[in-house]
Amino acid sequence: MPKPVHYPRTLTDWLKQLDSQLLPASINSQQTLRRALADSNRSMRELADLMQGCPALALSVLREANRKSSGLSEQTESLEAAISRLGIKRTEDLLNALPALPEQELPKALRQIQLISQHASHQANGLFAGRLARLWQEVHWGSLLFLAPIWTLLAAHPELFEVWEQRVLVKGEAASKVEQELLGVPLLKLCLTLSEQWHLPEWVIQGYRLLVSDRRLLVKALHIARDNEHPLHQQQILDADSNLRRWLTQPANSILLANGLALSAHYAWNSPHSLRWQRLTGLFLQLPLDNVQQLLHQNAVSSARQMPATDLWHPAEALLWPWQARHLNATVEQPKPAVVSEWRQQCAQLLAQPSAFTNVLQLTACANQAIQACGMQRVLILLADRNHTRLIAQQQSGLDKAAASLSLDPQQSQVLRRLLSAPAQLKLSPANIAQFSAMLPGSLKSLFPSEHLLIRSIASNNRVVMLIFADQGGRALSDASVQGFGKTVQCIERALASFANRGR
């Protein structure tokens, strides 16, 4: 059985892990850049342009150039200026420090998010660079590096990308809920803190500050942008709100728009999220929605042509498909199958007469293995003290290491009190999760971040002595799985009775 992944749960722990995370680069891009840096005929502009194909180095160079230890108060916003500040030798050292792997051995999730960043940069150049000619460097590099904190997150934990695709894009779950369950902290707050710590371009930091602490301006603008067919009415509303009009015209918004467009297009051009960003871009550029969409599609095609053919998804491919088609579909993951032979072996041990166990720890360990063998992936067994004033973790599998030291006061939870009063089983599902979730301790909910959970209390000599929590990794529980769990619990009940009577 694969070991469960344990993620940090606090902002401090995430910062510690991600700040030291090195981004890998492909061997080919590293060799190309090494030759370019050794070529004295290359200008800083040419070197900066080449580094777009190696986002890991672009981030490393900009971070190094803007470190406080550099002794320079002015922060550089462009890669060209960053290379000039560091010099060729230091830039080459940073390149050599990057882990180098063949292209196909780099985490696919990391390559995909970097492609989204490159697409965002291309959209920003096509939509805004001409209008903001004097600020094209800020537009270009800010849009490319906006998602850099997520690059490091996916370099450390690439499996999170598919979870985000499925739960947020395909199933439409609230991003904040998914982030809290997976990371323990809001993703945008993590991105903001990393951006500030790394001294990323100011426009990047402004974008995250807006999303974290000042979203009312964005919400107002999105509301106005919906009325895209009446530009005069939109302008009248903006004229009446000078603060909103001033914010909307800020050039820094261009990189937020470009990344919103690229991220939402990753799923579908005509999704609700994508249409919101398209309308907002129309309001920013004072263009009709049709014109904005035409520009977006042209920029996407141009972006795809400039990128080599890979196994990654580029939104330009969807322009060739039927409009309602999706490249992302809900995945149907099969629950862990019941291992019948192992289950029978564990149940036989539980049912042995006289009891095969010399202590409670042995009994609960066998019970844990039997529950897993019947198809459950995450299991927690809690033992109650004599007066039902405490529940102590005795066995766990598939859970965060914090489960091993879990201790609960059942008086703080109506559900736990009910389960301790008499043997009972509670099956949580989307139909009743709202009713019961608020009555469960937060530490339990964080261990089982799902809407599908089985909870069972077991008695011995007419007193509840054990609570079992089990699920199949958050997936829906089939009738067969629930029946298998019920049969296993019956074996555990008989094992407890036999164990209690072993000395008589």
> How far, in Å, are 58, 96, 388, 396, 464 from residue 384 at the CA level?
56, 57, 6, 15, 7
Neighbours of 426 (CB within 10 A): 16
Mean pLDDT computed over 42-70: 86
Query: Please, which pLDDT band fits residue 332 given cuts at 50, 70 and 90?
Result: very low
Spatial separation of the C-alpha atoms in residues 104 and 106, rounded to whole Å = 6
Report DSSP letters for 259-322, one per residue: HHHHHHHTT-TTSHHHHHHHHHHHHHHT--HHHHHHHHHHHHHHHHHHS---SS--GGGGGGS-
296 or 447: which leads in pLDDT: 296
Domain count, the chain: 3
pLDDT higher than 70, residue 330: no
* b/e burial code for range 145-171 (CB count within 10 A of at least 16 → b): bbbbbbbbbbbbbbebbeebbbbbbee
Q: Can you give the residue range of the structural domain that contains 389?
A: 340-500
45 and 75 together in one domain:
yes
User: What integer pLDDT is reported at residue 210 of this predicted model?
Assistant: 94
164 and 183 together in one domain:
yes
Mean pLDDT computed over 318-327: 81
Query: Please, which pLDDT band fits residue 444 given cuts at 50, 70 and 90?
Result: confident
The model's pLDDT over 92-119, given as tens digits with 9 standing for 90+, comes to: 999 999 999 998 889 999 999 999 999 9
113 and 206 together in one domain:
yes
- Let me know if residue 13 belongs to a domain: no
199 and 275 together in one domain:
yes
pLDDT higher than 50, residue 161: yes
337 or 179: which leads in pLDDT: 179
The model's pLDDT over 240-254, given as tens digits with 9 standing for 90+, comes to: 998 999 999 899 999
Tokens read off for 300: 């996407």
Instruction: Count CA within 13 A, CB hemisphere, residue 304.
Output: 18
Q: Which residues contact 387 (CB under 8 A, 6 or more apart)?
A: none
Mean pLDDT computed over 284-305: 94
417 and 428 together in one domain:
yes
pLDDT higher than 90, residue 369: yes
pLDDT higher than 70, residue 197: yes
78 and 192 together in one domain:
no
User: What integer pLDDT is reported at residue 1 of this predicted model?
Assistant: 33
Query: Please, which pLDDT band fits residue 130 given cuts at 50, 70 and 90?
Result: confident
Q: pTM for the whole thing? A: 0.67
Residue in 349, 338, 356, 363 with CA at minimum distance from that of residue 466: 363
What's the mean pLDDT when you consider all of the chain? 89
251 and 400 together in one domain:
no
